[in-house]
Amino acid sequence: MKRLAVYCGSATPADPLYIEGARALGRTFAERGIGLVYGGGRTGLMGAIADGALAGGGEVIGVIPQALVDAEVAHRGLTELHVVQGMHQRKQMFTDLSDGFVTIPGGTGTMDELWEALSWAQLGYHAEPVGLLNTAGYYDHLIAFWDKMGEVGFLRPQHRDLLIVADTLDLLLDRMAEHVPTQPIVRMNASDL
């Protein structure tokens, strides 16, 4: 895994645990020689991740829509900053530039990115690992929902392991490195669907 896309919030929660965790993630990427691809912002968890990776001498590539550049939230000190027209281009560029995806705490935009990465893996549009860092139990309910989808039958058994979950970054990265792609929907027979 040479580069990983990180999905996260641009907000700054009241609990400093989230910002500290984001900064530590950036530092860990730099220490492990993993390039960071992220949303290109300077605020909240986004800015903390970028600053942590940059402080550690890591590669940081931002991908940000023009509208957010116009709103003056772009991080100007990155290794590279790609300005795109919209969110669809942004997410495609995340996929094109990365060898996997890590989601840390965030809001609706973060969920949009996570679910698209999982959907694309399920369909076969990419075969990269999709990780979820469950910081302080933030994603406990989402993990339960993922399990519920499998129990009910909306998530096929061969796709249950597409979401790689861990409570610590080191364990998550180790699990992601062991990822073996599953059979995507595009390679299934209609009778298997």
* Half-sphere CA count of 126, side-chain side, radius 13 A: 21
Task: Read off the tokens for 137.
Answer: 């139990």
pLDDT averaged over every residue in the chain: 95
Strand partners of residue 101 = 5, 130
Place of tokens 């023009």: 66
Average pLDDT of the residues in 9-25: 97
Q: Which residues of 67-94 are buried (b: 16+ CB within 10 A; e: fewer)?
A: ebbeeebbbeebeebebbeebeebbebb
Determine the length of the chain: 193
DSSP per residue over 97-138, as a string? H-S-EEE-S--HHHHHHHHHHHHHHHHTS----EEEE-GGGT
- Cα separation, 63 vs 89, whole angstroms: 9
Structure tokens at 79: 């290794």
**Could you read off the pLDDT of 94-109 as tens digits, one per residue?**
999 999 999 999 999 9
pLDDT (tens digit, 9 = 90+) per residue, 35-85? Answer: 999 999 999 999 999 999 999 999 999 999 999 999 999 999 999 999 999
> Are residues 38 and 3 in contact, defined by beta-carbon separation less than 8 angstroms?
no
- Reported in sequence order, the residue ranges of 30-172 that DSSP labels E, i.e. its strands, are 35-38, 60-65, 80-84, 101-103, 130-133, 163-166
Predicted model pTM: 0.94
CATH of domain 3-180: 3.40.50.450
CB 103 within 8 A of CB 133: yes
Give domain limits for the chain. 3-180
Task: Tell whether the torsion through CA atoms of 164, 169, 170 and 171 is positive or negative.
Answer: negative
Rounded CA separation 2/15 (Å): 31
Please tell me which residue, 156 or 5, carries the higher pLDDT value: 5
Q: Which amino acid is located at 174 in the chain?
A: D
